[in-house]
Amino acid sequence: MTLHKEMKQWEEKAAKELRGKPLESLNWETPEGITVKPIYTAEDLAGLDTVNTLSGLAPYLRGPTASMYANRPWTIRQYAGFATAKESNEFYRKNLAAGQTGLSVAFDLATHRGYDSDHPRVSGDVGKAGVAIDSVEDMKILFEGIPLDKVSVSMTMNGAVLPVLAGYIVAAEEQGVLQKQLAGTIQNDILKEFLTRNTYIYPPVPSMRIVSDIIAYCSKHMPRYNTVSISGYHIMEAGADSVLQTAFTLADGKEYIRAAIDAGLNIDDFAPRLSFFFGVGMNFFMEIAMLRAARYLWHEIVGEFNPADPRSQVLRTHVQTSGWSLTQQDPYNNIIRTTLEALAAALGGTQSLHTNSFDEAVSLPTQLSSRVARNTQIIIQEESQVCRVVDPLGGSYYIEALTASIIREAKKIMDEIEELGGMARAIETGMPKLRIEESAARRQARIDQGKDTIVGVNKYRIDDEIPIEVLDIPASVRDEQIARIEDIRKKRDNDAVQKALESITQTAEKGGNLLERTIEAIRLRATVGEVSDAMEKVFGRYTAATRVISGAYSSEYTDSGVIEALRKRTETFLAKTGRRPRQLVTKMGQDGHDRGIKVVATAYADIGFDVDISPMFQTPEEAAKMAVENDVHVVGVSSLAAGHKTLVPELITRLREMGADDIIVVVGGVIPPVDYEFLYEKGVKGIFGPGTAVTDSADKVLALLEEKYL
């Protein structure tokens, strides 16, 4: 029977089962705008040049190596770091003993932003979202008992990348390990910081110079070390769909190639050691297709620079399961979500993988949740048998068609970026950030309406939440770090340190390799903050403009009755008080994730609020001052990195000191339920945890305003 006759028979049977509904009713459109049919056949692959390819052969769509996991499974990593270097070291050593095969270090936000732990701006951030590193002494403790000539170390660091990488190099030296023996990856992807994560320090131009200096130094001295891990993960976490993640990540990679070539390097000197870092979410088959498409497109992009070494065109990637998909509600569902995402990463052909812990929607992972996350990977590797076959889904009509669709749609966006002059110029125009924020707002509107099901959040909710253990980082961690800094400054040769710091400043101003100068300063026990300040004297500290997009949330909200009811209440408030309800949305501390505040600001503006959105990285005093100067009714605080118990009470205290205790304070974000009572006692009037519909939070904020003013 021919395929054409089989399709006719299928259509007839399906039509009977649909009882009069058209076959097209089974089609659905993904967030990427790709139409997915209920059935795919060989006809859907006709003419595609992506199908007849094998793993390990150009264009590497089916895998970067010929034998893939049949020969060597992906590296099991756990992205972890918390509190002090000593506690993190104990955690790493236990994980390595339990089957983890590489380290992935998470640094606290003070370190990311180039501040020492004693800086007044980081009072609520030290040790909260990662490990606090102030000097090479901390780095030595972090890796004590871990042979750095044998264990691959991945470090997620971009802003303070120079002192952190230098600290790792010097710690290894003092362990007896040569630079040429070090294996691992430094993320060193500053462009995505300006796009999404926001843990930048310096403006874009000097930041790109730092990237080039690191590539140049490591190409010469550290042949086993990956100098850039081009990150799509945070682009996804900020709200991008798979096409946007693919296009923006690869466009970032192309920009780094240009920067390195402009710095005098040959494409084959560095391209084989560029790596990628993708995020994988819950659209299972789309995530698999995305990783395949990315390899195909990267081969094509690098080919434009005429490499002689075939390895230059091979995309190798680390993958992390989505943190955004984790829910506070019914949290054990997160184990299933992470398992599906991990399997998608494996079937997509990742080279290493981090699986998130089920409790990360409310706190840092505990020993138990970390073990479950790590064992998820071990079970997939050793029990599921997916490692026995190279690219087991290769040839699937659906997967191949999806892969081709992502390639086609991502190319359109990358062509648009090229017309703007490349990714750095595109970032300056605001285009990529705007696209990501629109995507996030539309996704939130679909979830709030129940169009996109989140089990336990907007469907199949349980009445009694199951309490889970929460890891709490005490404020004493900062005191320990400050004591260590003071001890270092007493014992070191401060004159020699000062000369080394002045050399960094001169190099920043006049030229030379900044990593080389930083290593010299770190050997003398200069701190992360001191090195960062030495460059800031020349480069300055970057402040991004913030803005509120309009219309994206409400345009996706088809149940206009909900939006209209809320708008009517804001209009009533205006009529009775002479002003619209005005809210300041702020993100205090050094956490740069801004998806939450951007979505809330956008939705509230669409509902009829006047919305002020603060600059990133405010102190409580700065937020209070802005609230008073803008004469707002409400301050909405977004919290993600465990600083809420320090920063929110301080904000309320500052408002009272300014005579503005009539301003209502509400809080949203990653806040453990066990902390709710503490915040209410401090004066918070509303708390909106992960999974709260924006319309529900707006309803409650309006109720607070109506009670107070009407």
Question: Which 3 state secondary structure label does DSSP give 561?
Answer: helix
What's the CA gap between 131 and 213, in Å, rounded?
26
What gap in Å lies between CA 105 and CA 117, rounded to an integer? 18
Can you tell me the distance from the alpha carbon of 51 to that of 398, in angstroms, rounded to the nearest whole number? 12
Catalytic residue numbers, as ranges: 79, 233-234, 587, 591, 593
Report the relative pairing of strands 35-36 and 28-29 from DSSP bridges. Answer: antiparallel
Q: 83 pairs with which residues across the strands?
A: 131
| Spatial distance between the Cα atoms of 132 and 23, rounded to a whole number of angstroms | 57
Among left, alpha and beta (phi > 0; psi -120 to 50; other), residue 531 is alpha
Cα–Cα distance measured from residue 117 to residue 10, given in angstroms and rounded to the nearest whole number: 66
Alpha helices in 552-693 (DSSP H): 552-556, 560-577, 595-607, 620-629, 644-657, 676-682
Q: Would the CA dihedral through 687, 688, 694, 700 be positive or negative?
A: negative
- Cβ-defined contacts of 696-703 (< 8 Å, 24+): 696/448, 697/600, 697/666, 697/668, 698/566, 698/603, 698/604, 698/607, 698/609, 699/566, 700/666, 701/581, 701/583, 701/634, 701/636, 701/664, 701/666, 702/566, 702/569, 702/570, 702/573, 702/581
Distance CA 543, CA 203 (A): 8
Q: Rounded distance, CA 337 to CA 457, Å?
A: 14
Would you put residue 25 in left (φ > 0), alpha (ψ -120 to 50) or beta?
Answer: alpha
**Cis bond leading into 672, ω under 30°?**
no
- Gap between the Cα atoms of 228 and 155, Å rounded: 10
Residues 538-553: b if buried by 16+ CB within 10 A, e if exposed: ebeebebebebbeebb
Contacts of 123 by beta carbon, 8 Å cutoff, 6+ apart: 478, 646, 647, 650
